[in-house]
Structure 1
Amino acid sequence: MSKHETAPTSVDPADVGLQFLTVAHQVKDVVDQHMAKAGLSLSRTKVLQLLARRGALHQAELAEALGQAPRSVTQAVEALERLQLVTRTGDPEDRRRKTVSLTDQGRTALAAGEEAGRQILQQIFGTLDAHQLARMETLLGHTDTAARRSIAR
């Protein structure tokens, strides 16, 4: 134990969990605000990232991959289409089915949004030293594993 750490006291895991959720929400909001200043929100960035990784997708596939309701994805895609960041094309066999593709302008916006997000995360987590970052990474890994196990039950 370093001279800056104190001996653990009785801490309620639920209290720590609530603090984690609060901080995670705050970090997400800050990242979203900084990305929006660069022209792309965090949620829209996630859509573009998926299209950049997997190529053109049907809207239903996009909704499933993002774990979102189809209507929410339709609204996001419509907004991205208005900004000319994606295109939607109809399926010749099913007019209701739309395929979403990333445009060159979308790739440029994605790069700018990702860079803005990276910069603010660097600023936030750059306040931690190497030991703290390594410990946080380990703790987040354990937390992620526990959360995934809870979902599987």
Structure 2
Amino acid sequence: MSEHHTITTGSSPEQVGLALLTTAHNIREEVDRHMISATGISLSRTKVLQALAAHGTVHQARLADILGQAPRSVTQAVESLERLGLIDRTGNAEDRRRKTVSLTTTGRTALAAAERAGEHVLRQIFGSLAPQQLTDLETLLTLINPPRSHTG
């Protein structure tokens, strides 16, 4: 994260909002880059594994709903993770289009490694903040975090 944006006193809500969006994007890219480098699994693929770890075996359409993503996007992620042996995908005897997805033992191990890699880079990024700064940042983020809208 080489780009730093300075917010000056008197900045408008739009300027602060854009700075936050830029910062969030840069942090996400850094976490993703680090996770891929350390484990070969991206942040978005890790989120699929986390959903399966939390919800167990689910139908692929339900997984898309849990993730708040389009079914087509989830299908691509599932196919990729299946090729890596991180998840199992089985068909339904009555409806061949309906697939059930579950996490493999290898997938659980990979998920743990990916989470450690993500946590490591987040500690690097946020570790320089004093405890009170972390608390203040968390409070501010909670105040402005809009509720997640579910579509689909």
Q: TM-score, normalised by structure 1?
A: 0.89
In the alignment, the residues of structure 1 paired with residue 92 and residue 147 of structure 2 have an alpha-carbon distance, to the nearest angstrom, of: 36
Q: For 2:41, give the aligned amino acid.
A: L
Residue in 2 that maps onto 1:148: 147
> How many residue pairs are counted as aligned between the two chains?
142
Deviation, structure 1 residue 131: 1.1
- Max radius of gyration: which structure? 1
**In structure 2, distance between residues paired with 1:92 and 1:55:** 20
How far has the Cα of 1:91 moved from its partner? Answer: 1.2
1:81-100, CA deviations, whole angstroms, 9 ceiling, x for partnerless residues? Answer: 00000010011221110000
The answer on whether the counterparts of 1:86 and 1:101 sit within 8 Å (CA) in structure 2 is: yes
- Indicate if the aligned counterparts of 1:81 and 1:87 stay in contact, CA closer than 8 A: yes
Question: Which residue type is aligned with residue 19 of structure 1?
Answer: A
Secondary structure in structure 2 of the residue aligned to 1:89: strand
1:19 counterpart = 2:19: yes
1:40 CA drift (Å):
1.1
**One-letter code of the match for 2:101?**
V
**Who is 2:127 aligned against?**
126
- In the other structure, the counterpart of 2:3 is none
Note if 1:104 corresponds to 2:110: no
- The residue type paired with residue 23 of structure 2 is V
Aligned to 1:99, the other structure's residue is in SS state: strand
Per the alignment, residue 5 of structure 2 pairs with none
Tell me how far apart the structure 2 counterparts of residues 50 and 57 of structure 1 sit (CA, whole Å).
10
User: Residue in 1 aligned with 2:45?
Assistant: 44
Counterpart residue number, 1:32: 32
Q: 1: CA distance between counterparts of 2:138 and 2:56?
A: 31
**Aligned-residue CA RMSD in angstroms?**
1.6
Runs of 4+ in 1 over 6 A off after TM superposition: none
The structure with the largest helix share of the pair is: 1
Give 5+ residue unaligned stretches, structure 2. 1-7
**Structure 1 residue ranges without an equivalent (≥5):** 1-7
CA contact (8 A) 1:39 1:109 kept: no
Residues 51-84 of structure 1: per-residue CA shift (max 9 Å, x gap): 0000011110011111111111000000000000
Could you tell me the percent identity over the aligned residues? 61
SS at match of 1:50: helix
Structure-2 separation of matches of 1:80 and 1:46: 12
Secondary structure of residue in 2 paired with 1:94? coil
